[in-house]
Structures are given as C-alpha cells and as structure tokens.
Amino acid sequence: MACACSALYFLNLKGDILIQRTYRDDVERNLAPAFRSHILHTKGNDSVANLTPVRVLGSCSFLYMRQSDVYILAVVKSNSNAMLAFQFMVQTVNVFKSYFGGEFSEQSLKSNFVLIYELLDEILDFGYPQVADSSILKQYIFQKGFVTEATKLKREQEAANSTLQVTGAVGWRKDSIRYKKNEVFLDIIETVNMLMSNKGSVLRCDVNGKVVMKVFLSGMPDVKLGLNDKLEDVTFHQCVNLGKFNTEKVVSFVPPDGEFELMKYRCQDNIVLPFRILPIINEIGRTRLEVNVTAKSSFDSKLFALNVVISVPMPDNTAQAEIQTTQGKAKYDPKKHALVWKLKRFVGQSEHAMAATVELIATTREKKPWARPPIGMQFQVPMFSASGLRVQYLKVWEKSNYKVEKWVRKVSKSGDYSTRI
Amino acid sequence: MAKLQNMRGLQNFISDIRACANKEHEKTRVDKELGKIRKKFASGGNISEYDKKKYVWKLLYIFMLGYDVEFGHKQAADLIPATKYAEKQVGYMACAILLNEKDEFLRLIINSIRNDLISKNEAFQCLALGFVGNVGGQEMASLLAVDVMNLLTNGAVRAIVRKKAALCLLRLLRKAGPEADILQADTWSVKMANLLEERDPGVLLAIVTLLLGIVSRSYEGYEGLLPKLVAILDRLKKREVQPDYTYYGIASPWLQVKCLRVLQYFPITDDPALLNILLEILRKIITGTEVAKNINKNNANHAIVFEAIALALALEADTELLTASVGLLGKFISVREPNIKYLGLENMVRLAEVPAVNDAIVRHQKSIVASLKDTDVSIRRRALDLLFTMCNRNNARDIIHELLEYLEIADFSLREELVLKTAVLAERFFPDLHWYVDVMLTLIDRAGEFASKDIWHSTVQIISNNEDLHEYGARKVYEALQRGSVHEALVCTAGYVLGDYGNTMKGVPPSELFALLQERFPSMPPHAKGILLSAYLKLCLMAPQDIQLKEQVMEVLSRYARFMDADLQQRAVEYMGLVMHPDVAKRNVASKPPWEKRGSLLLRRLMHRAGGEEPDEQEHKPVWMQDENGDAVESPTAVQFAPPQAVPTSPSANGHADDDLLGEEAAANGDLPPASIPQPVDPLADLYGLQTGPAPAQALPAGPADPFSVSGDPYALTGGQSGADLRPSGDTEEWFRRLCASSNGVLYEDSCLQIGVRSEGFRGPSGQLLLFFGNKADAFLERLLCVVPPTPQFQFQLGAVPARLEPKKQIQVPLMVACVSTFLDAPRLQISYTLASGQQCNQSLRLPLTVNKFCRAPENAIPADMFFTRWRTLAGPPQKVGERITRTLQLSKPAVEKLILDMGLGPQPGLDPSPDNLVAAATFCFAPPGQQPQQVACMVRIEIERTRRLEAQVTVATPDVNVTASLKNLLVQLITKL
C-alpha cells in the first residue's frame, strides 16, 4: 500500500525541469527527457495523453498531473498505490499553496527553491509520505528566513512538541490555542453535473459537495453538526468521530485550527436542477444556422445566479453571427468555436433567450458532418443547495463555555453542466 | 517578395505564433485567426486584393503548421488571374500547396493558367509552368500540353522559361497515361532533334531529361536522335562548355549521366562509325577516370563511370572494355569507403553475368571475399551476391570453401540466404559426388535451423540416387552423429540414410546406429520422430538375429503405440506388427526407390525467395512434373501386395515418408497452377480414403482437365460402355459457375433431362439442395440413378429417386448437406440413365457446394484495425495466397462487387485505402460430427489494375490452408469468366 515514490519532478509545460528530488536510487537520474518525449510530446490526440495519468515506460511508472502551468510527476518503480500517489501530489500542491500565499505556478516555484527543497525533504522519506499537513509543517519549516532569538526559542519548543502532537491522540490540534473572539465559519460548496437531452429529459445528474470549515476557537472544543439528509458516499476529515456518526447520524468532532475540509459527499437522487436550457438549432442550407436558446432558472425567485456563461458550440466553418439576447451579452468566439452568452446576474424563476443567425463559409472539401457537441453552462448560485442539504444545528461545547459566533453559507456551482443539441 | 515586408498583419501573426509557449496557445491563436479570415471572406465582395493576398498567405502559413484549411481555395484561385506579380504568385503557390492533382477545383483555373502560358510576360509564364509542373494531372495534360510544347520549341523565349517548359512537359507526359498520346513520335522526334542542337547546357539538361522520360516508355521513332546525343557527349568530353557548367573540372556531369542513360534505352546502333565513336567515348571514361582527392569530384566521376559501364554492357562492348571496367571496379572494391565499395560490388554483379569477363573478376576474388567480412551488412549482402554470380566450375571449390568458412561467423539475417546459395552452388558445380555430400552435410551441420527442408531433402535424394554414395554417405552421417551433432535436419538425414544404407558400413552394428539415433530421439519434433521410427524398423530388420536391439525397438514402439499424435501412434502400432512378422516385413519394407530425374528443389526455393526471377541457366529451370499419387503407385509396396493381416496401412508409412519429401513442396508453393493444388496434402488422407472410396492408391481422376471422361472416373457407375452419346447441351462449367454465385439455376441439361438446383438455408455449416429432375423427352427415362459419393468432408442425405421418370414430368429430390471439415473441391453428383433406344448417359457433375456457400458475411462492418491485424498475422502461403488474373475484357469494380455480394461474402467498403480495390470478409462454418460448429475467418482482397483494367490480383487469407486454396481458386475462376 505504500507509495514508494522514487523521484518527484516539477516540470513546466514544455517539459523542462523546474525542480527535482530523487528519493531512491532504483531509477535513473534524469527521467525528464523520457517523460517529455514519450508523454508530453506524443503526436496526435492531446486529449488521450491527458486522459491517461499513469503511463508505464520501461520499468518505471510515470504518474503525473497538471496543476496550472506545472506538471507534477512521480516516478515509481515498485507496484505502488496509484491513488495514494495522486492524493499525495494533491496534498503537496496544497502545502505549497499555503506556503506561497495561495499561488501555485511556475513562477512561484522558481522563486522558492530553497523552501521547496526543505519541504520536499520533510514530506517524503525514502519515497514514503510523511507529514503533509501544512499547519504542522509550518511549526518547523518557516516561510521567512530570518527570525529573532525569542521567537526562535519558542519555535524550537513548538517543534519539539510537534512530534508529540503528530503521535498523540488528537494529532491535528494543539491544546494551547487562544482567541479573543471565537468564531466558526461553515461553507457548503456543491458542484452540479448534468447532461440533458435536446428533448429536455435528464440523462445524467449528480452533485459533488463538500463542507469546508474555518475555525477560530480557543481550547479543545467539541463541535456537533446536525444535517437534514441521509447522505450517500460521505468521506470525513480524520477528526470526525465515525462511531458517533454511524449510530446517531451526528457529525461530532474536535476541529483542527484554521481552515480544513470537514467532509465530502455525493448524491444522485432528489436533485434540484438550477437551470434548464431549451435549444433549437436549424441548419438552413449549407451556409446558415438559426439558433434559439432559452434558459430557465428554477430556483427560488429571491435567489439569483452570478456569472452565468452559456456557450453554444458552432461548426468549425462559422464565419459570423448576428445575435440578439433578452439579457446579457453574446458573441461568437472563434477560439472556442462557440457562441458565448454571458449574463452577470440571473434571477430565480425567470427566463432569458438568445436568438442568432449564423453564417457559415462554404468549404471546398467534402464537409464532415457537424458533430453537434453539447451546450455547456457555467454559473454560481449563492445560498442554494442543489442536493437540498441543510444545516439543522451547529453546536460548540468547550470547558470554559465561551460565546461562539457561527456563520453558515451555501453555494452551488456548475460542474459539467451540458445540454445536447 | 518585397511586398511581404509591408504586410504587418501577417508578420504580427507569425511572430505571435512563434511566441506561443505551447501547443494550446498556438491552437487558440490559429483558431482566432481562422475565425477572422472566415469572417472576412464571408463578408463577400468588399475585400481588397491586398487583403485577399494577405489572408491567403496566412492560410498557407496555418496549413504549413499542420492545421486543416478547408476554405479559402476559391479566394486563392481568384488571385491567379490578378495582374500584380505578388498576388499571382501567392495564388499559384496556395493552389499548388492546398490542392492536389485530382481536385475538382483545378478545372476552374485551367483557363487562367492557359492565359498566363500564352501571355508575353515571362514571369507569369514561369509561374504557370512551375504550377503545372507540380500539380498538373491528366486533364491539364490534354489541355495545356500544346501550349507548353510551343513554349519549349519557341527559340525566341528565354532559356529559363524553356527549361521549365521541358520539365513541365515531362510531368504532363507522365501524368497523361500511356494511351493518351500527347507526343506523336513522328512529328515530335524532328522537334527533339532541333532541340538537342541547343547550346545552353542548362536547357539541354532539361531537354535530355524530357527525352529520358520519353524513351523510357518507348524509343521507337526516336532512333534518329542517337548521333545528336553522341555529339553532345563528345562535346562534353572535349570540355566545350561554358565555365559556369563545369563542376570540379568535369563538364556538366549531370548532362553526361543523363545522356549515357538515354543511350541505354536504345538498341545497339547499326551504324559502325557511330558505334565506334561511342565506344571510344566510353573507353575514355572508363580508362581515363582516376580517383581524385576531392570527394565531390569523385562522386561526379563515379556517377559517370557507373552509367558508362551500364551502357557498355548494354552495347555488348568488347571484352577489352569490359575487362577495363572490371579492373576499375576492382579498385573500388578494395577501397575502404563503404559507398564506393557497395557501388563497386553492385556493378560487378552485373558484369559477372557476362561470361567473357569472368576470369577478370576472379582475379579480384580475394578482395570480394574480404568484403564478406565488412562491417556494413549491405556490403556483405552484395559480396555474397557477387560470389554467387561469379562462381564457375573452376573456382567453385574455393568459393564454396570460403562460404562455408564464412557461415560460422555470418550474422543471422544473412544465414538463410547464405545456406541456400551455398547449397545451390554446390549442386550446380560439384566436381564429384563425394565432395558434394561432404559440403551438404557440413552445411546441415553448421547452419543449424537455417537449413531449410530442401537442403537435406536434396542431400538424401543425391545419396539414394547414386549407389556408390550409399556407404560413403552413411559413414559421413555416422561420423557426424558421433561428433555429437544434434540438429533436427541432420538427424532426419541420418534417419533416412542410416535406415536404408546403414548395413553398407562394415563393422558398425545396427545396434550402435540405433543407440546414436535414440540419443537424439526425445528432443525431436513429431515428424522427425516419425522418420526415426521408420529408421528403427529398418535397422531392426537389418539385424534379425540381434534380440537385444529388437527388444529396445519394441520398447520405443510400444511406448509410442499410445502416443497422442495419431501419425506416430499409427506408425508405432504398424511397425510393432511388422517387427513381429519379419517375413511379412521383408516383403513390404523395402528401401527407398531412386528418385525420378527432376529439377533441383533448391533452385526452386531460391527463385521463390528472389520473387520469381528466371535462373540464368536453362537446365535449372524448375520442372515440377511429379505428382504424389504417381509416386505411391511406383512404390514397391503398393496396396495390392499387402497381406491382409498386416493391415493395408503398412504401405502408407512409406508413402507418407515420401510425402515428407515431396508433398510439402506442393503445399508451400503458392504459385502452382490451380489445377494441381486440390490433391489432399493431409498425410493421412489416403488412409481415410480407404474407408470411403474403393481404392485410394489408384490414380484419381486425371484432374480437372477432363472432368467428364467416364473411363478415368473411379466412381463411374457403369463401366465398360463408353458410348455415351447424350451430351450436355451447354457448358456444364458455365452452369456451375453461375450456381456458385446464386441460389438457383440449371445444373445440367441435355436433350432429355434437365436438372435444376435450388439451395436453401446455407450460410452456415449445413443446408439443403433441392434437385429438380425434369424429363423433357417423350419417352421414359429408364434406370435413373442419382448418387452422391461420400466424401470425408461432407455428410449427405439424399431423398429417394425413382428408377424411372415419366415423359414431361418433373420430380423434386432434396439433398441435405452438412459440412464436416474444410475442403478443397466441391463434391460431385453421379447421374446416369438409359433411354429405351439404348442410349445411355453417365455424368459426374460438380455440385455447387463451393466454399462460399458455407460462408456467412459479417453483420457489421469490420473495424479497419482489426481486419489489418488479422491480415498481417497471416504472413504468406499457404494461409495467404494470391493469384494474378489476366482478362481480355475490362473488369469493372461494381461487377466484382456484385459477384462478391452474390457469393455471400461481405464487402467491406472503405477498408482499403485505394478506391479501386475491394475487400471482403466472411466466416466459413463447418461442424465436425459431435462437436461444436467451428468457424474460419476469411479475408479477401481484390485489386484491379487501374489503367487498363484487364488485370486483377486476388488475395485470400484465412487461417486454414484448405479454405484459402479453395476460396482463392473459386474467386479466380469466377472473376476470370465474369
């Protein structure tokens, strides 16, 4: 089950090494050229190369993922747990982000070489993942190079404690935390995926949700969270008492300090779809298209959606389009081969339409029939939960019984939200 | 190009593309630009010529980056009639790059091209000529050739235009196809003669290149140009050219090479004076060339020399000149430079075919042999070729000795060929038979797995055909075994030779031979084991008094009496019986009879490898006259002598042993005439035959040449009277062919009887034929008999046939058919009847149960990759077999397609990259009794020759040898007569 990662590479999009660390000598020193020539620059279908995150070349397995403009590549020799390797890479990115102030890019890697080497030494040992939690790492790997004697002494103590803490019963929290103002923030973030046929029937639909918390509480508080729903497919942060959840359906935990992801869930039933798209596209002759797209919002009229983007794919030989909309702006974007209709604000229980006349240029070659890819949509609906998840209560209990301010937010975002045409 | 600097948009675009960090950025930038260009082009007429030019440049750039450009061709073509050079230029360039010669779009611009050709502006003429010279196709050839010719012959036009015109004309000539005669020899040769007077070497080079294109088709009508060409060569040799055209002191080497090559196409001139001048030039070239220091100069010189040698060969020049050539090439071979060495060897091979210079070449034998050890494999190969070609009776011993030496170190890719060639040389030039046997045994010993069957087969053949070799051969084999040789081919040879002639060696008891063979027995493959078992039996019979040997042999045999391989098991059981009855065995087990005189197996093999090239000596032409059944008849152990208790199988073992040597040859050779293929190659076919037919060892019908001859037919129901005066009223073969591709029709008809057939429920392993017997006459048909002789490949169930058929009456007889195994030939139906007048009819008819009747077409189109993987896995004969068909009438693809459909095979359109070819797939089904039905995937490819459509190539690939052969034969038959 071990990861046993022989080497870790960070490469830019061209395949040049940004930073590299070898953990075992069972692989050759420089594998980046192989990765570049066999994986990044494979001719033909780019998407295929991207779709296979694990490739075996020779005796090594290359596990890689792309994060903004950086490829992270783990080279393993033994039969490793691929999921663990990817989870580790994701976690590494998170650690780096928290160190670099939320940014992870080629530039940020280049300007933090020393720090990264320090981190790389710490998070993996002989290829086995160690501490990959930024809050713990920050206790002994510091962002700023120079520190005063006093803080140094304090930090040394903390660092000494940190081993104790990692091995203790509540490994994720120190007990000496004090805040003047005790606050808890809870965000429910849901991603809605949907595929609808052009007749309006839903072919596939699911919601991926997560509960993210930001905790500023003193001492060792016990938190209880009551949810309305029977959830499917839930995974919890390690702080949650699973026994209690199984018996009482109450999420009970001692929270780590600061921001963390409390739980993830997925559901496929009883989903409220925020939008419906009704497209009508007629091909008139070989060189004209009539496009009518109507979008309907079905959430409560008191709510509204933000940053709605509907992109209606067009054939490759589209020359120009005349577009009228009831709200928002729309234009033809040749880079995406689509009509892109943007609405800043979309009120609930309302309906907007776009009508376009599209002119196509005649092609000399035998025209391939248009593949009619689906209409895609992006949106954000604050205070709306597509799965219908509600927080019934959020209780904090601590020895000193201080007053706690609690904030709960919800937002539903689009995932892969598409309608066939 | 000056204008290009001003096109900001284009420059910006290119620099944007170059600045892109990765492919995605580039793609988005290109998409954006394409969108913009589409918008501009779609907006209609209000686009300036300048913009048009700029956008077409951008499109070209995008196309060159590897993106599809599917529009803008019209705009590019619009630029061709433009008046400005820069616009015209991009118009031509875009059309040349974006369109190919088959594009419909080119038709629209032919007129503009013609206008440019006949314009007075030579820049435009050059553009047009360049364009036509690059993309011109058949249509342009017919429409523009005249204008191009005018430009070429017009002396007032500048040299550069005429140069382009000559090359453009060459392209048109090549594209026009042989039937479109755009250059009439009688008129054009006069013009060519004038053109060859040209003094500018550049134009002359283009013209000679054109001439080369013309004479490579046919030199007829152009013989008058010979003196002109010789004059040019003469002039060049005297260096009468401008200094611009001398290259390292050589006068236009390109022109020299072209002239020499053109001359090779003409027959030897009958003008002795001209010939003398020419030979003098050649002599000067061949003897006057020295190796220079400069590599470029050397290359130019060598190119001329090689062409000169080729021409000298073509002119059948005197020995002196050729000997000089050999001397020069000998120098080349001995240098270290691999390119020169290679070329020297290659040209030497050509010279080696001239007997007169053979001695001269032999002088270089040492350096040629040294080339065998060169590091470059292509040089080694050439050296081997050369040694093979130059070998004669005098140097054969040395060369073969060298080759045998070399065999030990030769690399694996070369070994098979080397072994084969050595064997052929040994066979061709052997000074005495003992030496020959030595060489062959050494070959087998050293070459291991690379010695093909033919090599040891022919060794055995030679040994057994020459009585004085019997003892020598046996002793040699015996020594080789004692040395510890273990290779299969050697053990097989030993099995044969020791089994037959082991007793000729004095002082070596059979038990020792047995021990030597038995040592190797366990590791041998089944067929070799079979040979060894036969040898054991013979050894045992040699020493009847040796009880111990007998026991040992019996032990081996009894072990194999329960072996899972049917052939070995049968042999073991039979041989046990024979060992127990030595008196019976003595009568039945004899040594191999001498082979009949026939062609060398090895040469056939070599020809097969070389792709059917004729061997250079007539006497080595392959003659394949032997048929296996003939051999079986001549065998002294033919069936009629076999005593009943020894089971009729004892001869079969010997017959089978012969098959080892002979039968597989037939199967391996795909290009036998189809008539001789269908004989069963299954080694046990004759055994099974015993249960079904009366006498399998008897001659089968004399082959399809005369399928209706009554006397030769073993199944003929009424022998004796051959006065069958009722003849079919049409071509039975034609009826049969029609039935192959349809479900009902006439099978047979004569003045009294008509037989119709309807097939039902095939496309699987079984089905039913309905036979309709109609009496057309006014009299009874008496003694009507209808029999389907049983064959092991089918199961039949025939309905009752009444013995007499009333006048003007039709009856219906069902015939149920199930296919039990794969087969080569359709089964037959025997018909006989008598009329009251005493007239009699006996017919043996082929039933339309051809292989395709049991084939099922695939329901869905087969994916291309799956088809090709399968196609490739079936590498060659006998699983993949092709045959070329020549017809007198043109063949159309729809007709073939219909035939394929009618036959029930599934055409797979779009699978073959060429639209002229046809690919089909089907599944052949058969059901062995008591087992699951089995399927054989069949793949068919028919290539129709494109221009004349008189030839076609049929290739069939299936995993089963029988299905391949029968399907291919059927298709060939049907398409030939389509």
Using a CB–CB cutoff of 8 Å, tell me whether A288 touches chain B: no
Assign residue B972 a region (left: φ > 0; alpha: ψ between -120 and 50; beta: otherwise).
Answer: alpha
B158 Cα to chain A: minimum distance (Å): 37
Residue B924 pairs with which residues in a beta bridge? B855, B936
Among chain A residues, the shortest Cα distance to B25 is held by A335
A381 CB-near residues (< 8 Å, 6+ apart): A274, A299, A303, A304, A305, A306, A411, A412, A413
The fold of the A183-268+388-410 domain, in CATH, is Immunoglobulin-like (2.60.40)
Residue in A with minimal Cα distance to B77: A364
SS (H, E, C) B101-166: CCCCCHHHHHHHHHHHHHCCCHHHHHHHHHHHHHHCCHHHHHHHHHHHHHHHHCCCCCHHHHHHHH
Write the CA distances from B663 to B336, B667, B741, B874, integer angstroms: 48, 7, 32, 22
Do residues B842 and B709 make contact, with C-beta atoms less than 8 angstroms apart?
no
Q: Is B42 at the interface with chain A, CB within 8 A? A: yes
- Asked whether the beta carbons of residue B31 and residue A359 sit closer than 8 angstroms, the reply is no
Q: How far is CA A313 from CA A195, A292, A293, A418, B147, in A?
A: 15, 13, 12, 11, 50
What would the pLDDT profile of A322-336 be if each residue is shown by its tens digit? 999 999 999 999 999
Q: Closest Cα of chain B to A307: distance in Å?
A: 23
The Cα B407–Cα B418 span in angstroms is: 7
Q: Which residue of A has its CA nearest to B100?
A: A365
pLDDT computed for residue B488 by the predictor = 82
Task: Give every CB contact of residue A338 below 8 A, 6+ residues apart in sequence.
Answer: A311, A312, A313, A314, A332, A376
**What pLDDT sits at residue B700?**
37
- Please count the helices (runs of H) and the strands (runs of E) in chain B: 39, 16
Contact A363 B38 (CB under 8 A): no
Interface test with B, best of A36, A318, A335, A370 (most B CBs within 10 A): A335
Stretch (H or E) spanning A309? strand A304-313
Give phi and psi for B535, each to the nearest 5.
-60, -40
Contact (CB<8Å) B38/A317: yes
How long, in residues, is chain A?
Answer: 421
A193 vs B647, more confident: A193
Per residue in A67-124, pLDDT (tens digit) is 888 999 999 888 888 888 998 999 999 999 888 888 888 888 888 888 899 899 889 8
Is the CB of A359 inside 8 Å of chain B's CB atoms? yes
Interface test with A, best of B70, B99, B109 (most A CBs within 10 A): B70
Residues in chain A with CB shorter than 8 Å from the CB of B36 are: 334
Ranges of chain B with pLDDT below 70: 1-6, 44-45, 179-180, 448, 590-725
Which among A42, A71, A339, A365 is the top mutation candidate for probing chain B, defined by the most B β-carbons within 10 Å of its own β-carbon?
A365
Distances (CA, A) of B199 to A271, B206, B240, B277, B928: 90, 12, 10, 21, 81
Say if the Cβ atoms of B22 and A46 lie within 8 Å.
Answer: no
Q: A196 CA to chain B: closest CA distance, Å?
A: 28
pLDDT of residue B18: 92
Q: What's the pLDDT at B2?
A: 45
**Which residues, 6 or more positions from B235, have their beta carbon under 8 angstroms from its beta carbon?**
B241
The two three-digit tokens of residue B55, written as one number: 């956008």
Question: Of A266, A264, A262, which Cα lies nearest the Cα of A213?
Answer: A262
Q: Do B71 and A361 touch (CB under 8 A)?
A: yes
Q: For residues B572 and B239, give the distance between their C-alpha atoms in angstroms, rounded to a whole number.
A: 84
Q: Is the peptide bond before B878 cis (omega within 30 degrees of 0)?
A: yes
Cα–Cα distance measured from residue B796 to residue B771, given in angstroms and rounded to the nearest whole number: 13
**Minimum distance, in Å, between the CA of residue A54 and any CA atom of chain B:** 22
Q: What residues of chain B lie within 8 A of the CB of A367, using their CB?
A: 70
Domain ranges of chain A: 7-137, 183-268+388-410, 275-382
Higher local confidence (pLDDT), A295 or B46: A295
Instruction: Supply the pLDDT for residue A150.
Output: 66
Only one residue has tokens 């001719």, namely A43
Q: How many C-beta atoms lie closer than 10 Å to residue B843's C-beta?
A: 25
The minimum CA-CA distance between A13 and chain B, rounded to whole Å, is: 7
Cβ distance B71 to A359 less than 8 Å, yes or no, reads: no
Phi, psi angle pair for B391, to nearest 5°: -65, 135
Whether B35 sits inside 8 A of A334 (CB atoms) is yes
Q: Distance from B622 to chain A by nearest Cα, in Å? A: 50
Residue with tokens 């300007």: A111
Amino acid identity at A49: A
List, in order, residues 6 or more apart from B737 with CB less than 8 Å away: B973, B974, B977
Tens of pLDDT, residue by residue over B422-463, are: 888 887 777 777 888 888 888 887 776 777 777 788 888 888
Query: Which of A361, A366, A370 is most worth mutating to test chain B (most B CB atoms within 10 A of its CB)?
Result: A361
Distance from CA of A364 to the nearest CA of B (A): 6
> Does the distance separating the beta carbons of A334 and B32 come in below 8 Å?
yes
ipTM score here?
A: 0.72
**Closest by Cβ to B105, choosing from A13, A334, A364:** A364
A130: tokens are 């160690």
Cα separations in angstroms, B797 against A186, B770, B802, B813, B940: 85, 12, 16, 10, 32
- Residue pLDDT, tens place only, A15-68: 889 999 998 888 887 788 888 877 777 655 555 555 688 888 878 889 999 888
Q: Which residues of B are known binding-site members?
A: 8-9, 40, 50, 54-58
Structure tokens at B865: 């990759």
Query: Which pair of structure tokens corresponds to residue A413?
Result: 């975002």
Q: Does B41 touch chain A (CB under 8 A)?
A: yes
CA proximity to B348, closest of B372, B319, B397, B382: B382
Give this prediction's pTM. 0.57
Test mutation, B31, B78, B99, B107, chain A, max A CBs within 10 A: B31
From the CA of A339, how many Å to the nearest CA of chain B?
12
Tokens of A175: 């007990």
Burial of A379 (0-12, 13-18, 19+ CB in 10 A): buried
What percent of chain A clears pLDDT 70, i.e. is strictly above it? 89
Nearest CA to B269 out of B204, B315, B320, B337 is that of B315
- Window 74-103 of B, Cβ < 8 Å to A: 74
State whether A335 and B35 contact (CB < 8 Å): yes
| DSSP letter (8 states) at residue A27 | S
Spatial separation of the C-alpha atoms in residues B28 and B36, rounded to whole Å: 12
**Short-list B151, B265, B149, B255, CA closest to B208:** B255
Q: How many contacts, defined by CB atoms under 8 Å, are there between A and B? A: 52
Mean pLDDT, chain A, as a whole number?
86
Q: What DSSP designation does B708 have?
A: T
CB-based contact, B107 to chain A, within 8 Å: no
Same fold, A7-137 and A275-382: no
Cβ–Cβ contact B915 with A under 8 A: no
Three state DSSP letters for B271-290: CHHHHHHHHHHHHHHHHHCC
A318 touches B at CB < 8 Å:
yes
Comparing CB atoms, the residue among A14, A317, A359 nearest residue B70 is A317
Residues of chain B with C-beta less than 8 angstroms from the C-beta of A334 = 31-32, 34-36, 38
Quick one: pLDDT at residue B546? 79
Contacts of A33 (CB under 8 A, 6+ apart): none
- Helices B295-314 and B319-334: crossing angle in degrees, nearest 10, is 150
Q: Which residues of A touch B23 (CB under 8 A)?
A: 46
Residues A132-152 have pLDDT tens digits of 888 788 877 876 544 556 666
Q: Which residues of A touch B21 (CB under 8 A)?
A: 13-14
Pick the CATH number of A7-137 from 3.90.700.10, 3.30.450.60, 3.40.50.1110, 2.40.10.230: 3.30.450.60
| Among the partner residues A316, A336, A361, nearest to B42 by beta-carbon distance | A361
The CA dihedral of B670, B671, B676, B682, to the nearest 10 degrees, is -10
CB contact under 8 A, A365 and B39: no
Among the partner residues A13, A334, A360, nearest to B22 by beta-carbon distance: A13
The fold adopted by the segment(s) A275-382 is Immunoglobulin-like (2.60.40)
Tokens of B734: 């034609």
Q: Taking CB atoms and an 8 Å limit, are B35 and A317 in contact across chains?
A: no
Is A214 in CB contact (< 8 Å) with chain B? Answer: no
> Which residues in chain A have their CB less than 8 angstroms from residue B24's CB?
46
B136-155, pLDDT tens digit by residue? Answer: 888 888 888 889 988 888 87
Return the DSSP state at B777: S
